[in-house]
Amino acid sequence: MSYCGRCGRELTDGSHEDCRRALELEPPRYCASCRRRMIVQVHPMGWSARCSVHGNLTAS
């Protein structure tokens, strides 16, 4: 099961075109694996988002 990082709904639930576009510019709010709220930190080099269960996700 995979969740949208922006709106937190299941990826199979409707269209996430807008979400995908937004996520190119902003960090995800929700973990894609468990839908927990991510702890997001924005810094000059980009951002990092952390799930308390799944760990860090960093902008590439």
24 vs 44 by CB, closer to Zn ion: 24
Write the interaction track for Zn ion spanning residues 1-40; mark x where CB under 5 A is met and - where it is not.
---x-xx--------x--x-----------x-xx------
The site for Zn ion, by CB under 5 A, has a size of 11
| Per-position DSSP letters for 15-60, written without gaps between them | --HHHHHHHTTS--SB-TTT-PBPEEEEETTEEEEEETTTEEEE--
18: tokens are 């807008």
| Contact set with Zn ion (CB under 5 A) | 4, 6-7, 16, 19, 31, 33-34, 51, 53-54
